[in-house]
Structure 1
Amino acid sequence: MEDPFSNLPDEILSCIVSFLPLETSLISTRWRDLWNQALVRHGSTQDDVASVVAGFLSRFEELDPLKHPRKLHFHFSDQDTALFASIATNKHLEKLVIVECTGLQSLFIESESKLHELTILDCPQLKSLHLRTSKLKSFRLDGPLPTIWPESHFNLSHAMLNFRLGPSCADFKAQYFNQTLLTIKNCEALTLCEWTFQELIWPSISPSGNFIFYKIRELWWIHNHRGENSMDTLVSFLKLCPALEQLFVTNDSTSYSAPRSNSYCLTQETEYSTKLEHLKRIKFMGFTNRVDEISVAKKLIELVKGEPPKIETSDESCLNVVIVQ
């Protein structure tokens, strides 16, 4: 049956949908497109950025996104200018996504109300991130590691810290990461790079001897496989995750690696003898050599107590647990 609404202009469709329950938009793919429209703006100065972002956030309607788009595409004409942005979010804003902001070096986000999800992707020059918020539950940051200052404490349930490009500055110190470490301690799902644990987390927790990630059930681990001992860091981290159920291991040969002087074997220094009693699945990604996958799997299986997990390879097949053991 032909959809009588598909050929109507967006303006008319918006008027129609605004009088109907939100679920009605699921009737037609054409209607669903209305909910994903973006507001496009252009500018050439930092004042333009501030003005557009402030205006965009101030016009949010809590229950009617059709009156004002939920997405903003801002095109900054001067790519050589360093940007410093400050965003005070609207009281109704629950999710904020910032993508592809070339030139953005410093970002301040303030929200003491409903901001629960924050995503920052492809901002390669970001060096400073200041967060004044206490309600965040999901935080995704993909790019070089900036200096992160969480002004208020919050407990994340999901965190993606994809810093495979390394730190944003050469003199980044472990203590700069301490406040961020506390926000991820109670995570249920975590993405972490090998070097981040080696250089930033381990130096901060090793003297205390009582830091455990009790709630992590899903771990996405990014590392640069370099031979027989390259998984020692992961083994050490897994000993801190007694509730882990799913493990995803990505091999990225381009990922930043800790300097050799810092890449000491952590396995022998880890005092915990935690066994993984709940691990159900291990998934490898990015490996090009089956021998490497088997070698890594053998090390991981040694940590498992009880029934061995399902082990999936990079080519979507499964490893025979008998061979691995």
Structure 2
Amino acid sequence: MIEDNLQITQKRKPTTENLVMVEKNDDLISRLSDDILLYIISLLPVECAVRTSFLSRRWSDLWNESPELKGTTEDIPILVQELVELYNRHPLLPCRREVRFRFEKSNLLVATIEDNQKLHLKFSDGSSTLRNPLFLRRPSSSTHDLAVKTLHLTSVSDLTPEKVTSLVSYFRNLQSLQITECNFKSLSIGAGFQILTSLTILDCLELTEIHSFSLNLKRLFFRGNFVKFWFYTLKTSLEIAMIDFRKGPGCLGITYCCLMKNLLALRNVEILTVCGWLFNMPKIKMLPLCEHYNTSVEISLCSKI
């Protein structure tokens, strides 16, 4: 009788192969097609949708196809926070960590995080001009600070400046900021970004003013229409400035006084490169630039780069 009981027990003991087979048979959802799984992800709340990438290898592979989620502008900070925190918890996760997010009507945000702590936020919509200024405020002391050192903003629309401003306040460790093709009228960098050292602005053709309260900004790269620079510090920390006005004067009337204010705002840099159409103008060529700079400054004037 004891032997019979032992035999029965042995028959009921599951093997590893049986467990795997049972798991596969029970996981009916993962066996669905990619299209159906991506559709399921799109129906989930944003914070839950992002977390599906580490349910299993099958789910993480879906994120190689850049899943598309839907929501509102209120969900944008949540989406980015979840994406960054997911990367921090699982840095070796085998996926691209890229999300396509549709909000409001036809607006699209593509959020991508790279291995070197770079975050790309690319906005796309049908609007042409953002009349409101973009003011990046002092970073908050939130417990949800995001470990992002480099941030790229592309095509911020008129529906998102407040959300972008709120989102950037989480990046207390931000060292480099690049803004591309964002059609706002003015840009202000708050003093709270204490370790921000590099600012790049490319092809923001509606931009007319740049205000900086940053104490440690060392590199400024600008390409676009003529703009006015304002630095609200006793002595700017800029070391390298490259100013490219090749896009033209824009909507600003260029005067000798206006140009001199810009150049004086940059007078403490070590290397200054100014290029574009300005120095094809006879009056501009005669500007006494060297009189306003330290003898150690390197000034480069060119019509092309």
For 1:195, the equivalent position in structure 2 comes to 227
Q: Superposed, which structure 2 residues align to 1:308-323 within 5 Å?
A: 309=298, 311=300, 313-315=302-304
In 1, the alpha carbon distance for the partners of 2:282 and 2:244 equals: 14
Does the CA-based 8 Å contact 1:189-1:218 persist in structure 2? yes
Unaligned runs of 5+ in 2: 1-62
In 2, the alpha carbon distance for the partners of 1:221 and 1:60 equals: 35
Shift of the 310–156 alpha-carbon distance from structure 1 to 2, 3 Å rule, reads closer
- Secondary structure of the 1:160 match is strand
Unaligned runs of 5+ in 1: 1-36, 168-173, 250-283, 317-325
Does the CA-based 8 Å contact 2:272-2:298 persist in structure 1? no
For 1:95, the equivalent position in structure 2 comes to 118
Does the CA-based 8 Å contact 1:43-1:74 persist in structure 2? yes
For 1:164, the equivalent position in structure 2 comes to 205
In 1, the alpha carbon distance for the partners of 2:100 and 2:257 equals: 44
In 1, the alpha carbon distance for the partners of 2:174 and 2:66 equals: 27
Of 175, 196, 203, which residue of structure 2 is paired with 1:137? 175
Q: Superposed, which structure 2 residues align to 1:1-325 within 5 Å?
A: 39-46=65-72, 53=80, 56-60=83-87, 64-65=91-92, 67-70=94-97, 72-74=98-100, 76=102, 80=105, 94-102=117-125, 112=145, 114-125=147-158, 126-128=160-162, 129-130=165-166, 131-142=169-180, 143-145=182-184, 152-162=192-202, 163-166=204-207, 181-183=212-214, 185-191=215-221, 194-197=226-229, 201=230, 205=232, 211-213=234-236, 215-223=237-245, 224-225=248-249, 230=255, 232-249=257-274, 284-285=275-276, 287=277, 291-292=280-281, 295-296=284-285, 298-304=287-293, 306=295, 309=298, 311=300, 313-315=302-304
In 1, the alpha carbon distance for the partners of 2:99 and 2:68 equals: 8
Shift of the 74–241 alpha-carbon distance from structure 1 to 2, 3 Å rule, reads same
Does the CA-based 8 Å contact 2:101-2:108 persist in structure 1? no
Q: CA deviation at 1:305?
A: 5.0
Shift of the 118–65 alpha-carbon distance from structure 1 to 2, 3 Å rule, reads same
In 1, the alpha carbon distance for the partners of 2:120 and 2:293 equals: 38
CA RMSD in angstroms, aligned pairs only: 5.0
Shift of the 293–69 alpha-carbon distance from structure 1 to 2, 3 Å rule, reads farther
Q: CA deviation at 1:294?
A: 7.9
Q: CA deviation at 1:292?
A: 1.9
1:156-195 deviation per Cα after TM superposition (whole angstroms, max 9, x unaligned): 211124543137xxxxxx9xx8xx7322x32111245753
Does the CA-based 8 Å contact 1:61-1:68 persist in structure 2? no
Shift of the 306–234 alpha-carbon distance from structure 1 to 2, 3 Å rule, reads same
Does the CA-based 8 Å contact 1:231-1:296 persist in structure 2? no
TM-score, normalised on structure 1?
0.48
Greater fraction of residues in helix: 2
- Secondary structure of the 1:248 match is strand
Shift of the 39–243 alpha-carbon distance from structure 1 to 2, 3 Å rule, reads farther
For 1:28, the equivalent position in structure 2 comes to none
Does the CA-based 8 Å contact 1:133-1:152 persist in structure 2? no
In 2, the alpha carbon distance for the partners of 1:234 and 1:220 equals: 15
- More moved, 93-102 vs 59-68: 59-68
* 2:183 partner letter: P
Shift of the 231–132 alpha-carbon distance from structure 1 to 2, 3 Å rule, reads farther
Count of matched residue positions in the alignment of Structure 1 and Structure 2 = 218
In 2, the alpha carbon distance for the partners of 1:309 and 1:100 equals: 37
Shift of the 154–308 alpha-carbon distance from structure 1 to 2, 3 Å rule, reads closer
Q: CA deviation at 1:296?
A: 3.8
* 1:190 partner letter: L
* 2:289 partner letter: L
Q: CA deviation at 1:122?
A: 1.8
- Secondary structure of the 1:69 match is coil
- Secondary structure of the 1:132 match is coil
In 2, the alpha carbon distance for the partners of 1:188 and 1:149 equals: 13
